[in-house]
Every structure is written in structure tokens, then in C-alpha cells.
Structure 1
Amino acid sequence: MHPTVERVTQRIVDRSRGARRDYLGRMEAMRQQSPQRSRLSCGNLAHGFAACQSGDKDTLKFMNKANVAIVSAYNDMLSAHQPYHRFPDLVRAAAHGMGSVAQFAGGTPAMCDGVTQGQPGMELSLFSRDVIAMSTAVALSHNMFDATVLLGICDKIVPGMLIGALSFGHLPTILIPSGPMPTGLPNKEKQRVRQLYAEGKVGREELLETESKSYHSPGTCTFYGTANSNQLLVEVMGLHLPGAAFFNPDTPLRDALTRAATEQVIRLSRPNGGQLGLADMVTEKSIVNALVALLSTGGSTNHTMHWVAIARAAGILIDWDDFAELSAVVPSLTRIYPNGQEDVNAFHDAGGTPFLIRELLSAGCLHDDVETVVGPGLERYTQMPVLKGERLVWQPVPDGSGNTGVLRGADDPFAPDGGLRVLGGNLGRGVIKISAVAPEYHRVEAPAVIFHDQNDLEAAFMAGELDRDCVVVVRFQGPNANGMPELHKLTPYLGVIQDRGYRVALVTDGRMSGASGKVPAAIHVYPEAARGGPLSRLRDGDRVCVDAIAGRLTVDVPEAEWRRRSAAIQALSENRHGLGRELFGWLRKEASTPEQGASFFWTHDA
């Protein structure tokens, strides 16, 4: 093992000792009560299988067969989740083939940041994760189940489902992906048209045609944002079947993997002699493995919040220093859009997650001594599934990458580090991802231009007011202010300013996610402006420095003047109502800091 990976892991173990012990104690107490439905009264149990066919009722009356809970984020509007409409029948049939039962336990909401981007609905997005966690817990609360399959794939859905399922960590659990849509319009062309639109050189009709050729069919979007980062991290944690993440939907292989996942989770259940649950697989070492995979692939910065929250749900305490220390030693092995021009389909075709895992294991960056849904160790996860006739088998990936422009071995990385840095200074604490940022922009110092709304930046851009060196500050965008929306609407405008030869950076207490690109962006900055953090004391023209090299986020204002300044007051009354935002007021009020997961499950003092 790489000594830094070992050191960070041990620090997490030591930091988490009390919380982890308490969590595992709760899970063991629940495990001792299994199968849960044996504790139900006759009336409880009759309600639990009243709608079942007679054969399933007979099976569930006895305690020696598994009942699998299906928790799904299906809806038929969103491309990533539309394929799940077929999965419950596949799961039920596979369960019946094992002499067991599967019940659709409950659904969770699934919203798409691509649809809500730049819209009021985006202000519900981050908190939908914790709503999904609660809805997953509600689905599992009937105590009817011996195992769980989670059908979810996108940004907040997988983290939310994992958080909820970890409250039932005594149950074996497998996440079943639906897969990415086939490749559409090349990313470089999409990016080009978006920038032309931002400059007013093409119209809405041409932009819509471009976007429609990019996002064109069932499946996840093919860029490497939060959704596809989810799948890769979950696979590296051993919670998918090996190699399952990136096969396209509605194919024979995808269906075979869904059936096989059901059969495997039944084998893991206590009625079938299994002893391990989700709690035994989400450990300090598997969490570190997820962080290593995130950093090695330049994955979504959203996971500096989501995986903190997932870890906390398992009694494991991680922070941004853990991310940064790992990032300094983990080699960058991929260039997937927006960090490069190839998409996740090209990554998968080049060797995909199995190749990546093999290379990271060989470099001593992943813990091999972990439990997975297919047994101990990650060696099985260096193999790719294939269909031979109707038989699903796994075979090793080739020794070399099939496309070194998107995936490389550990002996020839794209960069020696993972590109994620923590920034700190008199403007607060935040993170920056420089995977796609040219080295000459790793440090930008320029006068601040301050906005309280991303739409105001668009107006300033169109008026030519940003054609200069500047650090754009978009504040009052944190979880307590307005739910911390992603600010991708800013990306084309900032990219145009940089292309015009100006030095530009972004500083915000909001989010940019995995789709942040070539402009340096200090994000998730806290204490956030709405809580009186330093960003609230900035003024237009203050000289701000975003320095990813030294890890600094500072403003050059005399200390005496800085102390005298009062915080800017922004009521944000327009963010309190409309499109359901009035229902989320208490979530905004109670949300913890981004480094604590931006969750209302854990307080600011937790």
C-alpha cells in the first residue's frame, strides 16, 4: 500500500472510532433479529403480503427463504431512470428462480440537474438527496425484507439511497445501474455551440438541436459528471457486480447483469446462510477506495459533500483534508469529458472500471482487503462481464488500454496527482478541481466582481462589463441561503471571457459539480455568506487571489478595514417560495456545512 493511503485510512479509523462502534453495534442488534418478518404479528405479516400471489404468500409465511426489497427511482421523464421500468419484473423473475420473493418496497424521487439547471427547481436539488434517504428508509421500514436492491443512478439519487439503506446496514444490498445512453454529438462540438450561444452568435433553435443530439435516448448523460462518478465509485466500493457500471440500457447483457445481481443478493441473505450486510462492506477502507477512484478520474466535486454524508451514515468521519492528501499522491488515469473530449462509453470501451481498479491496485492506491457483494477482495473487480450465448461470465480486461487518450495505466498517468485541492484563507475554506484547468490559470489574482444571482452575471456579460481580468464572486448560493444550486449556467460565459485573453476565476459558496471545466473555480466556500461568512464582507474591486498551487483563497484588504466591514445583507426573499421551495425552508435552515456533507441529518456541531 502507498504510505499516504495507509496514513489517511488510519487517521479516518482513529477519528471515527466511537461513531463507527456505535453504528456497528446498532446494525448487529438488528442482525440478531433477522429475519425481521419473524417478529411481525400475524396481522402485520398478513398486511405485508396481502397483495402477493398465492405462491409468494406461502413462501413468505416461512422464514427460510429470502424476500428482496426493490427500492426504485424510476420515472419515465428522465432518461437515466426510464430504463428502470423493466427492472422490477426482471428482479422478481430472478428471485422466483432462486425460490425466493421480491417485493417493490417503495419509490424515491429522482430529479435531474440537467432539466433544472439555472431554474428555481435547482434549489431543491441538493436537499433531494436527504429526502431520497428518508424515502428509502420508509420503504425498508416494514421489516419484511432480507436483502435490498437499489435501482438508482443519478446525482443525488445514489448517495441518498445509500444513506437510507445504511440505516438498514444489516441487510445485504446491491445497487443495480441502468447504464449510459449511447454516444451522441461529440462533446467538443456541443461545447463550441454553447459558447457561440453565450456570445449571441447562434440562436436558441440551433442550440436546442445541438443539445438534443447530445442527450438523445434512454440512459445517463455520457459526460463524467456526478451521475457517472456515482457508478464508478459504487463499483470500486464493491457494491455493484464487477464491471456493471457502464453497459448501455435495454441490452441482453444489461438484463443479464440485473438478474445476476438479484441472485447474488439472495445468496448473501441470512435465509441463505449469508452473514454480511451493507454495513460490513461500507468501511473506512472502502470509503478510502471510493475517494481514490474519484480523484484518479477527476470525478464530480459534488462528492466532496455526498461521500462525506454517506460515510457519516456508516459512522465514518472524513473531511476535505483527507481528499486533498490522497489527491496529492493518486495518479490521474483518465481524461473523460469535461476533463477531456471522450465520454464514458469511450472509457468503458478502453477497459473501463475493471482496468482502472487493476491499475490502482498495482500502484498500491486501493485497499484489497475489503468485503464486496461478490466476496472478499477487489480482484474480481478487475474483470469485465460478457455474454457467451445466454451465459454471463467474467473475463480479465486486456493488459493495455484500448484508448490511451481516455484511460491509461499507472505507469503512464495523465498527471501524477488527482487535481483536487483544498483552499483556505481569509475568505473561508473551499475546494477547487484543476483537472481541466491549464497550468497558467492555477493562480489568478484580480479585482472582484460580485453577484448575488447567476442571472445577473449573464446580464453583465452581455453588456460587456466582464471583458477584463476579474474574479467573479457569486455569493448567497450556499445550502443555508438557497439550497446550494449548481451554477453551470456560468460556465460558458466565464469560458468566453478566458478565451478572449482575460484572466478569470470564480469564487462561490454554491456548486459547480463534475461538469466544471477550464476556468478555475473555488466552490463550496464556507462559512457561507448567508451565515455572515467572509464572502459577505467582500466589495466590488477588492483584490482576490485564487491560488490552487499554494492552496490559498484570500482578499488583499488591510486587516483593520476588514474587521470594520459589516456583512452584506441579502434577504433572498425571492428564493423562499415557488416550485416547492416553501416546503424546504427548514432544510435550508438546518443544513450543515459542505465539509460536513451539507445535510440536515447532522448538525453544525456534529
Structure 2
Amino acid sequence: MMTLHPAIARVTDRVIEKSKASRRRYLDMIAVQSEKGVHRSGLGCANLAHGFAASGEDKALIRDGHAMNIGIVTAYNDMLSAHQPYARYPEAMKMFAREVGATAQVAGGVPAMCDGVTQGQDGMELSLFSRDNIAMGTAIALSHGMFEGAALLGICDKIVPGLLIGALRFGHLPTILIPAGPMPSGLANKEKQRVRQLYAEGKVGREELLEAESASYHGAGTCTFFGTANSNQMMMEMMGLHMPGAAFINPGTKLRTELTRAAVHRLTAIGKRGDDWRPLGHCVDEKAIINACIGLLATGGSTNHAIHLPAIARAAGVQIDWQDLDELSAAVPLIARVYPNGSGDVNHFHAAGGMGFVIRELIDAGLLHPDIMTVGGNDLTDYGREPRLEGEELIWQDAPAHSLDDSMLRPPATPFLPDGGMRLVTGNLGRATFKTSAVDKERWQITAPARVFDSQEAVQAAFKAGEFTHDVIVVVRFQGPRANGMPELHKLTPPLGVLQDKGFKVALVTDGRMSGASGKVPAAIHCTPEALGGGPLSLVCDGDMIRLCGHDGILELLVDAATLAARQPAEAPVLPDGTGRELFAMMRHGADGAERGASAMLAAAGL
């Protein structure tokens, strides 16, 4: 194992230093909750009777109060393919708990919306703030004081960050996240992308497009591209919050079941009454957050985590920003190419060596903190192994010594790119994220005239009308958290990709989001400050020259200061009621900036 890379050590030290006061407040808070908070043993008789009234055969054990009672927080629904397998998890987990003399109850359910269903629709404007809703739902579930440990059932985009943020406010409890795994591979990703572009060009119809999408998203389990959902699973491994190697085992398999059983058994072993107490708030510390950042960069994960990671960190009293991510990106090589950054999906990635290979190689190269408290082993080195069944017994073995597919997975000594490919770009248009790892290097720099739009629908209309006839930087503004909830702008990828394939230089600049499902076209996203309230994007006019450079970290409007000072900010479009958007008005109005995590809840809490 090599000495820790100096840049990683420097960023870690800086994060620890700037987090001193907030981290101390957090640790003090969970210490008080551990000793003096609401506990089952301290509940009044009526309170306790309510808590076990319907617990059937577990009633006597819960009433007695000496065995661990695990609170299950589930994001189950059967509309979302990734979460459909969770339907029977609670009953199985109760049986697994009984095997080791413990009990389990469903503490509560949280919503789980699917960005794949809502993309391009009004419902997407609820998406980002569903994370805060999930965090609050998790807190409500655990507030009863009936539990000595927590099991979080969630996988997808806002759901894992929301579950984790909520659970961190109960950081005195040992907590394990339990995934359900990706669906088996379907239609090849390149073919799916080809059909999407043909549809955007009007060369195939809706029937052909639906057939291709149905062949890609075809069964139970997480979507197989390396978007935000699978990036969540990668990060939970990097932070040591899963059982080792649990992220990418398919649903419905014996190995999947045994990993869930092992997670329940492990929770009982790391409780406060044993000799190996591992509370969530001590597992998620500055080094664990840095490890999550490094995993994101090394694997080319979703840019959504440039927003989620600061929010998760704040919930644990840790302060990180995009400068930290940028400096880590310069030090961490890209060692995985998973669709949309490569041709194979997460099943192929897992077969090539997967998370066990990634973690072991990064540790051996001095690119990760191995010395963190994990839920599934002594430290993170145990996550450099992979689970398998030996007969009926679950064991862990060393990950492959070499990548089994070097077109998808490589060691740090021979990476795909020398850096992690998530750059901070700054200038007079603010601060933004540029995922360079998804874009061919010759496209990292562009200077072109702006076309300014206030919605992705307006961009699509201009594309269909044939208005893009030269190099262009498309500016889509009033898409920030305070304007309309910061929806993902997925529908821009096919038309902009078509323009780029025609030979035009094209880029996107927006205060909205584009997830790990997007790529190919250079994009400065999450621009902060956002356009609403007079942010610099509100001053851009059609024809203004903009320079975007991923090499030098530049996002610049090439208009002199005097001209800009004379302009009035554009007015934001009025956000209509309907689809429940009006119910999220307080979240929009109270949200802080993207670099802070775009959260009204955390801002109001002073975290």
C-alpha cells in the first residue's frame, strides 16, 4: 500500500479544518442522543404498547427490550423497477433478525420517484426536492425511539442521499444501506443511443423508439447505465455503508438474498450493546466523504453528486465544495468507463472486477483512505474483496488480480484518463461543473455565440425548426433550484448530439442539471448563482460570445463589464401551478445554491 497521495492528503486536511466547528457540533449532538435521547427502554407503557401492538410473534421480544430492534425505512414501490424487489424484503429481514435473536419492524416508507419516468415532464420539477422530503420522512420514521439500529432500503437518484441525510440526524444508530441490484443487461447501449438520435432527427417513429427503450429497461432492478442510481451504489461501497460487494449483484439471486441476510445479522453485531459499536455518524466522517468523492471521480460517476455530496456531508457536520472536488479530480485517474462513458453497463463492469477491484487498486495506489470505520468489516480494505457462495455459505474472496476487461476497467497505473474528469469552471458567469470525462478531449474548449432559452422545450422547438445552423453555445436558464426545482434536462442530449454529429461545435451552459446518464456534448451545468434573482445567466443575450474551457477551468461571457452593467436581468417565466409544484414552493424559496447542496431543509436548519 502506497503513502496517501499528497493532493488527497491536502484536500482532506483542508476539509477537516474547515469542518472543525460543525463536525464537533454534530458529534456532540449524536452523543447526547445516544445517552439522553428517546430510547425504547425509556418509553412510557402506553408509548411502548403502541409500538409493539401489531408485531405478532416478535411482540414479547420487543416488549422485553433486551434484543436489538431494527427499524426498516423502505422506499418500495412497484412502479420503479429498481425498488420493486423490495416488496418482500421486510418479511425476509424479520426472519433474518430472528435467526440472531433480534427483531425488525418497518419504521416507515418514503417516496421514490423515477427521473426516468418524469424526465422532460412537469413532475421532474419535484425531483430534486424529493430528496429533502425523503430525508424528513426518514427522520419521522426513526423518531419513535423504538429502534437500536436502522436498515435503509433505497437505490435511486435522490433516494439514497435523502435516506442518508435523514439517518445521519440519528447518527448514534448503527445503520446499513441494503441495495437490491441492477436488472440484467438488455439492449446494447450503443443501439439504444442510435435509435434515440434517429428519433430526434425524425427518421424513426415513436413505436420504434418505445420498442428500443422497452428492450433496454426490461425487468426488475436498477437501470444498468452508470447514472445517479448506480453511482449511489458505488459511493455507498466507497464509504463502507453496504456489506462488501453488495452493490451490483442482480435481484432474485441466492447471493443477493444471502447479502441481505448478512446485512441484518451484521447490524445486530455492531449495536451499542455489543463490543463493536459502529454508529452511522462515526462511519460517515471527513475521510469517508473524501472517499465517496474519489470513487465518483475514478469511475466517472454522475454529476448529480456534485450537489448531493455537499448535502450529505453537511448532514454529518462536514463541509466540502466544488474546489475540493476539482482538486481531487486533478489527482485521481479515471479507471472505469461504464455507459454512457463507455460501451458496457454496470453488469459488465461488475464482471470485469467491479467495486472490489476498484477499491483495492485505489487503496494500493494511495488514492483512498483505508482507515475509515465501515459497517461491513474492520476498515475499507475489506471492501477490496467480492462476495460469492461456497455451497450454501456466503464468503468473501479477493477481487481479480487483473481487470477482466481493460476496455472497461483498468488499474490506476494505466488509466483511461490521468484525471477524474469533473472540473470546476469559473468566470463572470459564475461557477459550474463540467464533466470532461464524458466528452472527447478535442471538444473541451469552445468559443461560440450564445442562443438563450428559458426552457428545454424551447430548445427542442428551435431544433425542429432548423434554427441551429452554426456553432453555438446553448444557454438554458431559470432552471436552478429556486426557479423551478432544478430539473434534469435529459431531453437536450439527443438534439445537441445531432448538431455535434453534423460537425458544429456545440456546448450547453445551464443552471439546471444533467445527470450521469448524459454525456458527449460539453456542458457547464449547475451554474451558481442561478439566473433567478439576477444571477449572471440572466444577463446573457443571443449572439453574445461565450468561452467554455475544460482545460483551464474557464466559463466566461466575452462582454465588457460596462455593457453588462447597463443590462437589466431577464425576467423569469412564471411557474404554473399543477402536478403538485405549488406544494414545493417553500422549498424553492428557501433553497441555497447548487454548490451547497441546493437544500431548503439544510439551509433552514443552519447546517
TM class by shorter-chain length? over 0.9
Mean alpha-carbon deviation: is it higher for 436-445 or for 128-137?
A: 436-445
In 2, the alpha carbon distance for the partners of 1:248 and 1:66 equals 29
Question: Conserved in 1, the CA contact under 8 Å of 2:278 and 2:375?
Answer: no
Secondary structure at 2:19's aligned position in 1? helix
Q: Distance in 1 between matches of 2:481 and 2:397?
A: 45
TM alignment of 1:510-525, pairs within 5 A: 510-525=512-527
1:161-172 equivalences in 2 (<5 Å): 161-172=163-174
Match of 1:248 among 240, 245, 250: 250
Paired with 1:436 and 1:291, the residues of 2 have a C-alpha distance of 17
Answer yes or no: is the 8 Å Cα contact 1:311–1:317 preserved in 2: yes
Q: Which residue of 2 aligns with 1:119?
A: 121
In the alignment, what sits opposite 2:463?
A: 461
> Following TM superposition, by how much is the alpha carbon of 1:152 offset from its aligned partner in structure 2, in angstroms?
0.2
Q: 1:46 aligns with which of 46, 49, 70?
A: 49
Partner of 2:27: 24
Task: Kindly provide the CA deviation profile for residues 40-81 of structure 1, in whole angstroms up to 9, marking residues without a partner as x.
Answer: 00111001101111x422112223210000100000111000
Q: Contact 1:35–1:271 (CA<8 Å) still a contact in 2? A: no
For residue 273 of structure 1, report the CA deviation from its aligned partner. 3.9
User: Could you tell me which residue of structure 1 aligns to residue 601 of structure 2?
Assistant: 601
Per the TM alignment, residue 34 of structure 1 is displaced from its structure 2 partner at its CA by 7.4
Correspondence 1:137-156 to 2 at 5 A: 137-156=139-158
CA positional deviation for 1:202: 0.4
Secondary structure in 2 matching 1:271:
coil
Q: Deviation string for 1:330-377 (max 9, x for gaps)?
A: 010000001111100000000100000011001101001110012332
Give, in angstroms, the shift of residue 571 of structure 1.
3.1
* Match among 290, 296, 299 for residue 297 of structure 1: 299
RMSD of the alignment, in Å?
1.1
Relative to 1, partners in 2 of residues 1:475 and 1:393: Cα closer, same or farther, differing over 3 Å? same
Equivalent pairs counted in the alignment come to 603
Residue 397 of structure 2 aligns to a residue in which SS? strand
Q: After the TM superposition, which parts of structure 1 deviate over 6 Å for at least 4 consecutive aligned residues?
A: none
Deviation at 1:589, TM superposition (A): 0.4
Aligned twin of 1:2: 5
Q: Deviation per CA, 1:359-397, whole angstroms, max 9, x where unpaired?
A: 100110100111001233211111110011111011001
Task: Give the AA of the match of 1:19.
Answer: S
Q: Could you tell me which residue of structure 1 aligns to residue 14 of structure 2?
A: 11
Which deviations, in whole Å up to 9, do the C-alpha atoms of 1:260-291 show, x marking residues without a partner? Answer: 10000111112334422000100000100010
Name the aligned partner's letter for residue 73 of structure 1.
Answer: A
SS of residue matched to 1:160: helix
TM-score, normalised with respect to structure 1: 0.98
Instruction: Select which of 479, 502, 509 maps to 2:481.
Output: 479
C-alpha distance in structure 1 between counterparts of 2:343 and 2:578, whole Å = 38
From 510, 517, 520, the equivalent of 1:508 is 510
Measured against aligned partners, the alpha-carbon deviations of 1:549-591 in whole angstroms (never above 9, x if no partner) come to 11111111121111111100123233xx111101001100000
Tell me which amino acid in the other structure corresponds to 1:321.
Q
What pairs with 1:67-86 in structure 2 (closer than 5 Å)? 67-86=69-88
Q: Does the CA contact (< 8 Å) of 2:389 and 2:395 recur in 1? A: yes
**Distance between the aligned counterparts of 2:557 and 2:62, measured in 1?**
65
Query: 2:483–2:572: 8 Å Cα contact kept in structure 1?
Result: no
Q: Structure 1 residues 348-357 or 565-574, which shifts more?
A: 565-574
CA distance in 1, matches of 2:38, 2:103: 14
Q: Can you list the C-alpha shifts for 1:189-210, whole angstroms capped at 9, x where unaligned?
A: 0000000000000000000000
Whole-angstrom CA distance in 2 between matches of 1:264 and 1:34: 24
**2:237 aligned residue (235, 238, 246):** 235
- Output the CA distance in 1 between the equivalents of 2:469 and 2:104: 60
Q: Tell me whether 1:542 sits opposite 2:547 in the alignment.
A: no
Q: How far off is 1:467 after superposition?
A: 2.5
* SS of aligned partner of 2:601: coil
CA offset digits 1:161-197 (Å, max 9, x no partner) = 0000001000000000000000000000000000000
Distance 2:398 2:357 in 1: 9
- Cα pair 1:63 1:271 within 8 Å, conserved: no
1:86, distance to aligned residue in structure 2 (A): 1.4
| Aligned-partner Cα distance in 1 for 2:312–2:117 | 25
Q: For residues 486 and 425 of structure 1, what CA distance do their matches in structure 2 show? A: 23
TM-score by length of 2: 0.98
Alpha-carbon distance in structure 2 between the residues aligned to 1:129 and 1:559: 38
Q: What percent of counterpart residues are identical?
A: 58
Q: Is the 1:401–1:408 Cα contact (8 Å) retained in structure 2?
A: yes
Alignment of 1:123-522 (within 5 A): 123-522=125-524
Contact 1:481/1:572 (8 A) holds in 2: no
Distance in 1 (alpha carbons) for counterparts of 2:275 and 2:7: 38
C-alpha contact 1:64 1:272 (8 A) present in aligned 2: no
Query: 1:246, 1:348 within 8 Å by CA — same for their partners in 2?
Result: yes
- The SS at the match of 1:472 is strand
Amino acid at match of 2:492: L
2:563 to 548, 561, 564: 561
Q: Which runs of 5+ in 1 are unaligned?
A: none
Q: Which runs of 5+ in 2 are unaligned?
A: none
Distance 1:226 1:547 in 2: 25
CA distance in 1, matches of 2:254, 2:37: 35
Q: Which shifted more, 413-422 or 263-272?
A: 263-272
SS of residue in 1 equivalent to 2:273 = helix
Q: Partners of 1:375 and 1:338 in 2: how far apart?
A: 32
Q: Kindly state the Cα deviation for residue 319 of structure 1 after the two structures are TM-superposed.
A: 0.3
In 2, the alpha carbon distance for the partners of 1:516 and 1:83 equals 26
Amino acid at match of 2:599: S
Once the two structures are superposed, what CA deviation does each residue of 1:376-426 show, in whole Å capped at 9, x if it has no partner? 321111111001111101100121011111111112111110001001111
**Partners of 1:228 and 1:151 in 2: how far apart?**
14
State whether residues 484 and 575 of structure 2, in contact with CA within 8 Å, keep that contact through their aligned partners in structure 1.
Answer: no
- 2-structure distance, mates of 1:363, 1:23: 32
The CA distance in 2 between the partners of 1:264 and 1:183, in whole Å, is 31
Whether the 8 Å contact between 1:76 and 1:82 is mirrored in structure 2 is yes
Secondary structure, counterpart of 1:603 in structure 2: helix
CA-CA distance at 1:35 after TM superposition: 8.2
| One-letter identity of the residue aligned with 2:371 | D
Structure 2 residue identity aligned to 1:579:
T
CA contact (8 A) 1:65 1:272 kept: no
Retained in 2: the 8 A contact 1:476–1:570? yes
Instruction: List per-residue Cα deviations over 1:112-148 (Å, max 9, x = no partner).
Output: 0000000000000000000000000000000000000
Counterpart contact for 1:35–1:145, Cα < 8 Å: no
Q: Distance in 1 between matches of 2:518 and 2:86?
A: 29
SS at 2:25's partner residue? Answer: helix
In 2, the alpha carbon distance for the partners of 1:508 and 1:426 equals 14
Deviates more, 1:127-136 or 1:31-40: 31-40
Q: What secondary structure is seen at the aligned counterpart in 2 of 1:376?
A: coil
